[in-house]
Amino acid sequence: MSIIEANELFFSYTSDEKERVVLDGLNLNIQEGSFTAIIGHNGSGKSTFAKHINAILLPSGGSISVCGIDTIDERKLYELRKSAGMVFQNPDNQIVATIVEEDVAFGLENIGIEWEEMHRRVKDALIAVNMYDYRKRAPHLLSGGQKQRVAIAGILAMQPRCIILDEPTAMLDPKGRKEVIDTIMKLNREKNITIILITHYMDEAALADRVIVFDRGKAVLDGTPEEVFDKEEMLLSLGLDVPQSCALIHRLKKAGIDIETTALTPEECAKEILSAKEKMV
């Protein structure tokens, strides 16, 4: 079942009396329970699309619906944003309280959730992101990855069906990146929460069920990670890259080595190289 449906979605804004088209007739369906990665160079429209999902931006033309709700329906804005939560690049922009558990409870307090239910949701959300042991800590004492997990917990406590993450690891070191990616994969697999991850890191995109490539406001590639990253030349022409494992496999293929080109991870790459070596013996 589709949880997000964009039909001829168009968005533009005017700068210096010139219209700039950011989304250009985008047609896209995202299935509930899926993990979708969206990649594209700066200005391709991926973040603008994300902001349309929970009505931070509204269409200039066409439509987008989330959980059956048209985003332009102001009467259902609360229901929409409860269904689709958004996590931004900088966790400091989403953390508002001085204690971790109070920050996670902030959104629940604003919608009048009773104390017992609030306490349960906060506890469950912090456990889900492996931050329960830090519930009494001050957020400013946490690492970047820990802060981002607290921000995710704050969204998770609202019990959304979909979480959109707009470059959530861009400001993190490798350890923090791994913490956040492991967390969102766990939420997708164990709680069936639909994940939409916007990222510049190809190795993160390779972990998704589906990868969509944006360029000039359109989806120009759409498929499994294996299908998309097999189009190395096209991706390079769009100013993008492929995971390092894919790049190595493609170079070996071009050198005449009989090797499969579907490896995405270092482990898969090593397995394919070993298999190719055995064929040569």
Note the pLDDT of residue 74: 92
Work out the end-to-end distance of the chain between its first and last CA atoms, rounded to an integer number of angstroms.
49
Rounded Cα distance, 201 and 131, in Å: 25
DSSP class of residue 118?
Answer: H
* Cα–Cα dist 272/245, whole Å: 10
Taking the CA atoms of residue 149, residue 155, residue 157 and residue 162 in that order, the dihedral angle to the nearest 10 degrees is -110
The pLDDT of residue 274 is 83
Token digits of residue 207: 């972990």
Strands 61-66 and 2-15: antiparallel
Query: In the prediction, which pLDDT does 281 show?
Result: 62
Give the separation between CA 199 and CA 142, rounded to whole angstroms.
Answer: 23
Partner residues linked to 65 by β-bridges: 5, 70
Q: Could you tell me the domains of the chain?
A: 2-242 (3.40.50.300), 243-281 (no CATH)
Q: What pLDDT does 195 receive?
A: 96
Distances 42 to 46, 48, 49 between C-alpha atoms, Å: 8, 11, 13
3-state secondary structure 61-73: EEEEEECCEECCC
Buried b (16+ CB within 10 A) or exposed e, 137-170: bebeebebbbbbbbbbbbbbbbebbbbbbbbbbe
- Write down the pLDDT at residue 266: 80
CA–CA separation, 243 and 207 (whole Å): 11
Q: Across the 281 residues of the chain, what is the mean pLDDT of every consecutive 10-residue run?
A: 94 83 95 96 93 94 95 92 90 90 92 90 94 95 93 92 93 90 93 95 94 96 94 91 84 81 78 79 62
Structure tokens at 246: 């894919």
8 Å CB contact between 276 and 268: no
Q: What does DSSP say about strands 162-166 and 84-87: parallel, antiparallel, or unpaired?
A: parallel
pTM: 0.89
